[in-house]
Amino acid sequence: MKKIQMVDLQTQYQNIKEDIDLGIQAVIDSASFIKGAAVSSFQTNLEHYTGAKHVIPVGNGTDALQIALMALGLQPGDEVITPTFTFIATAEVVALLGLTPIVVDVDWDTMNISVEAVKKAITPKTKAIVPVHLFGQCADMEELMAIAKAHNLYIVEDACQAIGSVYRFADGTEKQAGTMGEIGCTSFFPSKNLGCYGDGGAIFTNNDDLAAKMRAIANHGMVVRYYHDIVGVNSRLDSIQAAVLDVKLKHLNEYIAARQKAATYYDNAFVNHPKILVPTRSEKSSHVFHQYTLRLLDVDRDALRAALAEAGVPAMIYYPVPLHMQKAYQDARYQTGDFPVAERLADCVLSLPMHTELDEEQLEYITMQVLKNLGI
């Protein structure tokens, strides 16, 4: 049996090695390392894949979120609502821009932002909602968009874990994660479903004016070279990473299918276990399983994780501390116990290996080890 890894990028590379190597070599031969043909090709292909009118490739997912919020013209003190159970970058960029992050609780089943919590958090200072499509499944965008419309708020989707996920509206319309709000953001961190071999990210929008502004912001605020119209940053997807992503984009649907197949195997092994809750699959969204995250009931998670590690099965905790309990974001408004669902999730979630190269022998071994250490 192959060594079990949380993400097996080596085997994935071997399966596409020829195309990857040719793409990288073409960039080197052209010596066009910044804003080259590879970036333009990937941008166009990603626009076709997602249905977004504009894709702006940038340096990473965090930059994508920051540039998106900069483009909206928000002012210091404006409030931005985001879930407390997520990766830190979502609130990080809000704070860096002098805005006020307003964290809210999440739904126990989907682990995505709670619609009811968002409603309660809106104040006259609220200007935007940043829903996170956590672990590969879209938040309840139809409800969130209705709330945003009623209160004249922007929506910036954090789709950094959910590229390829499809949301279904009540009228049957389907849209890709990241293409429903005013702006959507994604990450191409190597472990993501569409990952490069370094850092990378992209911004999606259907708004021409926002697209032009975000392109300028990402390039030092320039439209015409050396003429800086607005304050910007330096955030570009380099050509080598774009070449890698352009190859992988052709395989994204099969990568998603492989992850879904592995998730179904896990589901079938664990679904009736009294101490395990498998990931809830929303009726409104497909799940692309960036992570496969269990909720453990009355289990010593640390002991289970240690036993799995001893058996050669890695497992990770995403995320052990909600944002409102992080030292950097402690606020007198928030106390332990204010967000019970997020705090409970932080105490009970455990993510198992999830990637495109998992085979049945590995899946059987992983599930056997989990069940064995839970006394089954």
**Distance separating alpha carbons of residues 51 and 188, to the nearest angstrom:** 18
**Distance separating alpha carbons of residues 304 and 279, to the nearest angstrom:** 18
Residues 45 and 136 in one domain: yes
Q: Is residue 173 situated within a structural domain?
A: yes
Q: Amino acid identity of 56?
A: I
**Distance separating alpha carbons of residues 140 and 284, to the nearest angstrom:** 7
Residues 216 and 182 in one domain: yes
- Give just the sign of the alpha carbon dihedral 7, 16, 236, 223: negative
Q: Is residue 3 situated within a structural domain?
A: no
Beta bridge partners of 184: 157, 204
Domain count, the chain: 2
* Per-residue model confidence (pLDDT) at position 375: 79
Q: Is residue 319 situated within a structural domain?
A: yes
**Which distant-in-sequence residues (6+ apart) come within 8 Å of 211 by Cβ?**
53, 54, 56, 205
* 330 contacts 350 by C-beta, under 8 angstroms: no
Q: Is residue 4 situated within a structural domain?
A: no
Which pairs with CB-CB distance under 8 Å and at least 24 residues apart come from 118-125? Answer: 118/81, 118/144, 118/147, 119/147, 121/81, 122/81, 122/147, 122/151, 122/153, 123/79, 125/77, 125/78, 125/79, 125/100
| E-only strand ranges, 192-303 | 201-205, 222-224, 227-228, 276-277, 292-296
Residues 176 and 42 in one domain: yes
User: At which of 207, 223, 249 does a domain end?
Assistant: 249
Residues 178 and 322 in one domain: no
User: What count of Cα atoms within 13 Å lies in the side-chain half-sphere of residue 347?
Assistant: 13
Residues 269 and 196 in one domain: no
- Residue 181 belongs to a domain with what CATH number? 3.40.640.10
Residues 273 and 190 in one domain: no
Taking each helix axis from N to C terminus, what angle separates 252-270 and 239-249, rounded to the nearest 10 degrees? 60
* Per-residue model confidence (pLDDT) at position 2: 94
Residue located via tokens 């789709």: 159
| Residue-number span of the structural domain to which 347 is assigned | 252-373
Residues 83 and 222 in one domain: yes
Tallying the residues shown for the chain, one arrives at 376
Residues 329 and 241 in one domain: no
Cis status, amide bond into 319, omega within 30 of 0: yes
User: At which of 249, 283, 305 does a domain end?
Assistant: 249
The helix (H) or strand (E) run that includes residue 364 is helix 360-373
Q: Is residue 172 situated within a structural domain?
A: yes
Residues 287 and 237 in one domain: no
User: At which of 200, 219, 249 does a domain end?
Assistant: 249
- Residue 343 belongs to a domain with what CATH number? 3.90.1150.10
Q: Which two structure tokens, joined as six digits, stand for 339? A: 């967000």
Q: How many CB atoms are closer than 10 A to CB 172? A: 6
Residues 221 and 298 in one domain: no
pLDDT by residue, tens only, the chain of 376 residues: 999 999 999 999 999 999 999 999 999 999 999 989 999 999 999 999 999 999 999 999 999 999 999 999 999 999 999 999 999 999 999 999 999 999 999 999 999 999 999 999 999 999 999 999 999 999 999 999 999 999 999 999 999 999 999 999 999 999 999 999 999 999 999 999 999 999 999 999 999 999 999 999 999 999 899 999 999 999 999 999 999 999 999 999 999 999 999 999 999 999 999 999 999 999 999 999 999 999 999 999 999 999 999 999 999 999 999 999 999 888 888 888 999 999 999 999 999 999 999 999 999 999 999 999 997 6
* 57 contacts 242 by C-beta, under 8 angstroms: yes
Taking each helix axis from N to C terminus, what angle separates 61-71 and 89-96, rounded to the nearest 10 degrees? 40
* Per-residue model confidence (pLDDT) at position 333: 86
User: What count of Cα atoms within 13 Å lies in the side-chain half-sphere of residue 20?
Assistant: 17
Residues 277 and 170 in one domain: no
Chain centroid to CA 278:
19
* Per-residue model confidence (pLDDT) at position 376: 64
Query: φ, ψ for residue 372 (rounded to 5)?
Result: -60, -45
Closest CA to 71 of 188, 230, 238: 230
